[in-house]
Amino acid sequence: MVKVRTKDLMEKFHLELISGQEGINRPITTSDLSRPGIEMAGYFDHYPAERIQLLGKTEMSFFEQLSEADKRDRMERLCTDLTPGIIISRGFEVPKELIEASEREAVPVMRSTVKTTRLSSNLTNYLEGMLAPTTAIHGVLVDIYGVGVMITGKSGVGKSETALELVKRGHRLVADDCVEIRQESQDTLVGSAPELIQHLLEIRGLGIINVMTLFGAGAVRTYKKVSLVVNLELWDQKKQYDRLGLEDEKMRIIDTDVTKLTVPVRPGRNLAVIIEVAAMNFRLKRMGMNAAEQFSSRLTDVIEDGDHEDL
């Protein structure tokens, strides 16, 4: 499925289309950009034709020094059936050789008034976000004290009800039922809701409610970095649950490991408060304060002191 086309760049960055209109629906498959300086000198052995080609002051000033035959040759070789588009920065005049070649090969040529370095940075950030690996996970994503907490568990365990209680306590809903996650960098996962169910919560017995309508715009947000996973499961008498918090469980999402906590569900447990405290404790751990490790260290000291007294 094509995520980004050349026309999307034109709309996003207000690029002026100069020629090659037939190719504005070409797919963009990589976030990498190419500044074809060495190609302008005639070296096309490793030309990355599948990338957006960005021509700035350096490339254009070198191009002006070429002979008429070389100018035509370079532009014809620059425009291929794989090239999604060529962008001229700084509002430079587009060479007639490029316009002619782009019309023949239907390669969109666009122009921007923005400086080359800034345009390159903006294009790369946009394309990396749009072309990032994505997945969808059944769960609820809530922003709790600035920590993106994804609540998972089997259907009917109480994920949405817990999210509703958290929203009532002043936290913000990101997504219910289906969390779309994209990996923006090696250790950054960003979750959001599908557009169809944005701001909606499904509560058994009540049906679908609109959180933004009920609680206001401050009760929702569009996306949030996923930092912690809390898995709810029905209490199992035979299972040993972590009581100290020394075990560090992880959940693999795409290519990133996220801290995971398993919280058993039974009548009388206030799940919203437990998850709220879990988020605060996670923040403390990131700041270097681990209560479980401090307790374990104190316990070891007491045991060692007791052993010395016995001696």
pLDDT of residue 61: 94
pLDDT of residue 297: 75
| Shared domain check, 159 and 287 | yes
Contact assessment for residue 201 and residue 173, using Cβ atoms and an 8 Å cutoff: yes
Catalytic residue among 8, 70, 73, 177: 177
Active site residue 159: yes
Does 185 carry a binding-site annotation? no
Contact assessment for residue 261 and residue 231, using Cβ atoms and an 8 Å cutoff: yes
Does 20 carry a binding-site annotation? no
Closest CA to 158 of 270, 241, 278: 270
Q: Which residue has the tokens 């034709």?
A: 49
Residue 214 lies in a domain: yes
| Shared domain check, 71 and 141 | no
pLDDT of residue 310: 56
Q: What 3-state DSSP class applies to 240?
A: coil
pLDDT at position 210 over 90? yes
Residue 302 lies in a domain: no
Residue 251 lies in a domain: yes
Which of 6-20, 240-254, 263-277, 291-305 bottoms out in mean pLDDT, i.e. has the lowest? 291-305
**Domain limits at 75?**
6-130
CATH number for the domain including 105?
3.40.1390.20
**Mean pLDDT, residues 210-215:** 94
What tokens appear for 273 in the block?
Answer: 């408060």
| Shared domain check, 289 and 184 | yes
Separation of alpha carbons 132 and 112, rounded Å: 25
pTM of the predicted model as reported, rounded to 2 decimal places = 0.73
pLDDT of residue 6: 95
Beta-sheet pairing, 140-144 with 172-175: antiparallel
Residue 1 lies in a domain: no
Contacts 24+ apart (CB under 8 A), 64-71: 66/40, 70/42, 71/95, 71/97
Residue 227 Ramachandran class (φ > 0 left, ψ -120 to 50 alpha, else beta) = alpha
Residue 307 lies in a domain: no
Does 157 carry a binding-site annotation? yes
Beta carbons within 8 Å of 150's beta carbon, 6+ residues apart: 137, 139, 140, 141, 179, 191, 226, 228, 229, 230, 258
Separation of alpha carbons 294 and 301, rounded Å: 11
pLDDT at position 291 over 70? no
| Shared domain check, 100 and 199 | no
Does 42 carry a binding-site annotation? no
pLDDT tier, 185 (very low <50, low <70, confident <90, very high otherwise) = confident
| Shared domain check, 194 and 96 | no
Residue 209 lies in a domain: yes
Residue 238 lies in a domain: yes
| Shared domain check, 146 and 63 | no
**Mean pLDDT, residues 146-155:** 94
Separation of alpha carbons 230 and 266, rounded Å: 15
pLDDT at position 287 over 90? no
Catalytic residue among 138, 169, 286, 298: 138
| Shared domain check, 149 and 111 | no
| Shared domain check, 139 and 288 | yes
Number of domains in the chain: 2
Contact assessment for residue 228 and residue 145, using Cβ atoms and an 8 Å cutoff: no
| Shared domain check, 202 and 81 | no
The last residue of one of the domains, among 76, 108, 130, is 130
Does 19 carry a binding-site annotation? no
CATH number for the domain including 245?
3.40.50.300
Catalytic residue among 5, 74, 111, 159: 159
Catalytic residue among 46, 243, 252, 266: 243
Percent of the chain scored above 70 by pLDDT?
93
Active site residue 177: yes
Q: Bigger pLDDT: 245 or 85?
A: 85
What value does the mean pLDDT of the chain take?
90
Terminal Cα-to-Cα distance of the chain (whole angstroms)? 73
| Shared domain check, 159 and 40 | no
| Shared domain check, 116 and 178 | no
Q: pLDDT tens across 75-133, in order?
A: 999 999 999 999 999 999 999 999 999 999 999 999 999 999 999 999 999 998 889 88
Closest CA to 78 of 58, 57, 51: 51
| Shared domain check, 167 and 275 | yes
pLDDT tier, 308 (very low <50, low <70, confident <90, very high otherwise) = low
